[in-house]
Amino acid sequence: MNKCQGCGAQLQIENKEEIGYTTKLESHLCERCFRIQHYGDYKTVMKENKDYISILKSVNQTGSLVLLVVDLFFLNENFTIFKETLKDSKVLLVLTKRDLLPDSIYENKLLQYMDRFGIPFIDKIIISKKNYHYDELMDLIQKYQTSKKVYVVGYTNAGKSTMINHMIYHYSNLNQEITTSMLPSTTLNQIEIPLTDDLVLIDTPGILEEGTILDYIDEKTIKKILPKKAVNPITYQVKKENSFHLDDFLIVSVEEPTNLTFFFSNSLQLERKFEKAKIEKKFQGHTLSMKQNEDIVIAGLGFIKVSKPCKIKIQTLPNVKVYKRDSLI
């Protein structure tokens, strides 16, 4: 039976509500992929991580080179799944979406930052879909591949399929496009791309992230909070009690002098108020004691760099993960 070239699902004509549905079994794309690719019209697919983890385990058994694709802006620091399932693999770290971070950042510092996650990466590279470092990435793949097959894994939305489409366009004669979208769970099964005589790339469905704000907001709002171009960091020197309101998603309260730099999509409105924030019933509160040069991460939304030690209160949607880390930038 044919698979959909866009998402990898097995094509079927029986059930409109199930993945892989098409009216003609000889189509290249399922109806969902056709609609995403032609109309930007997305249909949510509910999946569970257990299927995806078993794909990762089977990848580990092949002994092939694995590209672990990681979103630099929405860096999910939980690498445990990949550390455990890919323990016998050679893993090349590919950090994507460089274009969303300011030009002025130190890339070497970012690359070094990734060492803390305890995966012995065979190498690391930073790319972006703006054709940044793709030739270098192709050289690294050639240098480290152990067989024709090279697997591409990572969290959902990291940019795996976008990267492969770029490679299809620039390094092959194929006329195929994998479906990509700004919403989670776009790729649904493995997709083999015979890029050159010596290289077959295998796209895989992304692992779902827990605690991301994307799980609690609608599609229109998701489009608003995901940055489309480089985020302009906004810095404030706080001298006394202040609060900051980011659209309808986040309230930050500070009671002591500090410096804050906000990294969020430019489409979101940030308002400073010179007073204490009220407690919003619809939000969940978090209190964090910050050291010098730490970030507060609001999963799926963005992060705040804190340059001087202070106590900070965060209010955001319930069940969204809020945590601190050493400053990324």
Ligand X SMILES: Nc1nc2c(ncn2[C@@H]2O[C@H](COP(=O)(O)OP(=O)(O)OP(=O)(O)O)[C@@H](O)[C@H]2O)c(=O)[nH]1
CB of 44 or CB of 237, closer to ligand X: 44
Nearer to Mg ion, 161 or 315 (CB): 161
DSSP3 helix / strand / coil % (the chain, rounded to 5): 25, 30, 45
Nearer to ligand X, 32 or 324 (CB): 32
The residue (of 47 and 148) whose beta carbon lies closer to ligand X is 47
Interacting residue with Mg ion among 5, 64, 96, 161 (CB under 5 A): 161
Q: Tell how strand 123-126 and strand 65-71 pair up.
A: unpaired
**Which option in Mg ion, ligand X, none does residue 185 bind, with CB closer than 5 to 8 A by kind?**
ligand X
Residues that bind ligand X (CB under 6 A): 96-97, 99-100, 128-129, 154, 156-162, 180-182, 184-187, 205-206
Please, which residues have CB within 8 angstroms of residue 57's CB and are 6 or more apart in sequence?
85
Does residue 157 interact with Mg ion by CB under 5 A? no
Residue 162 Cβ vs Mg ion, minimum distance, rounded to whole Å = 8
100 is in the binding site of which of Mg ion, ligand X, none (Cβ under 5 to 8 A by kind)?
ligand X
> Under DSSP, is residue 199 helix (H, G, I), strand (E, B) or coil?
strand
Q: Which C-beta is closer to Mg ion: that of 184 or that of 294? A: 184
- The residues, any chain, with a CB within 8 Å of residue 176's CB and separated by 6 or more, are 5, 168, 193
Smallest distance from the beta carbon of 288 to ligand X, in angstroms?
Answer: 28
Helix, strand or coil for residue 260?
strand
Within 175-204, which residues bind Mg ion (CB under 5 A)?
A: 186-187
Q: Is 80 exposed, middle or buried (0-12, 13-18, 19+ CB in 10 A)?
A: exposed
CB neighbourhood size of 26 (10 A): 7
Chain positions contacting Mg ion, by CB under 5 A: 160-161, 186-187
